[in-house]
Homo-oligomer: A and B are copies of this chain.
Amino acid sequence: METLIELGEKAKKASRYLAQASSKEKNAALQLMSEALLENASTILAANQQDLAAANENNIAETLVDRLVLNDERLQAMADGLMQIAELPDPIGLVSGMWKNEAGLTIGKQSVPLGVIGIIYESRPNVTTDAGALCFKSGNAVILRGGKEAIHSNKALVTVLQQALAKTNFPTTAIQLVEDTTRETSRDMMRLNRYLDVLIPRGGTRLIQTVMETATVPVIETGTGNCHVYIDKDAQLKMATDIIVNAKCSRPSVCNAAETLLIHEDVAAEFLPVIEAALAEYHVELRADETALSILKKSQPATEEDWETEFLDFILAVKVVSSLDEAITHINQYSTGHSEAIVTDNYFAGQQFHREVDSSTVYINASTRFTDGFEFGFGAEIGISTQKLHARGPMGLAELTSSKYIVFGEGQIR
């Protein structure tokens, strides 16, 4: 088993090659990798069976097991995903601006790869191919560190990707896996500043928390979404109901699902019963503040913790507010800065919400569920950043790049 230092050194070297590779060369390799996934399906699925057997022995929760499962259909989706990434425009080499300075130098700002990216993630093996391919397409070497529950699947997947790379001029070390899934190694990886240019954790709140507290490598924080929908006094009942039901119920386990409903006191008595009935179809549990409790037929009192919690489940916190200002203050206090929506017919309310809510994505009259690289039209997504440095909101290929200034002179000195 290779040490992190060894993986780091190899990744650094590979990144030099990757940074210079042409789009054509990268896309051909992605196609080979895509084909290799299907050609080696039986090997990959056999490895996945080992993980599933271990999960069974360890009594791992049903929802986690579901994330772990690979089958022909999922493998096909992963292979298709690689082809889709091959078809995206290359984010490297773009000059976003070029000008002459006072000294007569021509200065251009050009996109370049970040270098070596570390990804720490949990049990989904599809992240292995997906994140691996996105880093590859953007000219970055990647070191993947998946959860121990998926180690056999991940080893098989990375082996297959590397075998495909072996047929090209790329170093096979462009995509590597940390096979040692101990916590110590994970922590060491978070401090591997010498080799990693950036670390992207993908997973639950606890993982993100650990990374934020431990990492000295620059991190892009992703994915925790305590999202809010605020129904203004000037909202339309049907639109408000549709949006909150969609935001809560269409897929509660994802980060762009709503966790708290804020509603203006002027419409609470009229709207809440209708909304409650609509949510009841999905058996949503309501945790309400005092005023909402008195209106709702069936709810329990919300605790302070409920306002802070990303339930990721059919649970919704409900609070009646006396003003838009109060809603915005609540959001800016409790939100993780992911996505928030206002439902309103009022121009000024919408403007104020856009301006004052401090989150990555702020909606007027739409569901928070749209915060997604594909929905945004990026054609890919490596995660959703909830931090303000480097990238904020859905991250596509462009967010996996850095820049450098290329300067053309004619002997200028200062």
Residues of chain A at the chain B interface (Cβ within 8 Å): 16, 19-20, 99, 101-103, 105, 107, 112, 114-115, 193, 197-198, 212-216, 218-220, 236, 239, 242-243, 245-247, 250, 332, 350, 354-356, 358-367, 369-371, 375-377, 387-390, 392-394, 402-414
Contact = CB atoms under 8 A, between A and B. Distances in A.
Contact of A409 (B115, B197, B245, B363): B363
A413 B197 contact: no
Contacts of A361: 404-405, 407
B99 A377 contact: yes
B115 A198 contact: no
18 contacts: A101-B376, A102-B377, A214-B216, A218-B389, A242-B411, A242-B413, A243-B411, A245-B413, A359-B404, A362-B404, A363-B409, A365-B412, A366-B407, A366-B411, A366-B412, A392-B404, A393-B403, A393-B405
Instruction: Give the number of times this chain occurs in the complex, counting copies.
Output: 2
A93 B413 CA distance: 36
Nearest to A197: B388
B389 A402 contact: yes
B242 A360 contact: no
Contact of A239 (B102, B369, B392, B411): B411
A41 to B, nearest CB: 31
Contacts of A375: 101-103, 414
Nearest to A337: B404
A342 to B, nearest CB: 10
Nearest to A408: B364
Given A363-B409, A366-B410, A370-B414, 8 more contacts: A102-B375, A198-B388, A213-B216, A220-B389, A364-B409, A370-B412, A376-B405, A394-B405
A16 B332 contact: yes
Name which of A198, A388, A393 has the most chain B CB atoms within 10 A of its CB: A388
A114 B389 contact: yes
A146 B371 CA distance: 40
Contacts of A413: 242-243, 245-247, 250, 366-367, 369
Contacts of A367: 412-414
A389 to B, nearest CB: 4
B389 A355 contact: no
Contacts of A16: 332, 356, 358
A354 B406 contact: yes
A288 to B, nearest CB: 23
A187 to B, nearest CB: 13
Contacts of A405: 360-362, 371, 376, 392-394
Contacts of A376: 101, 107, 405
A216 B216 contact: yes
Contact of A404 (B216, B393, B410): B393
Nearest to A250: B414
Contacts of A403: 392-393
A218 B218 contact: yes
Contacts of A332: 16
A409 B229 CA distance: 14
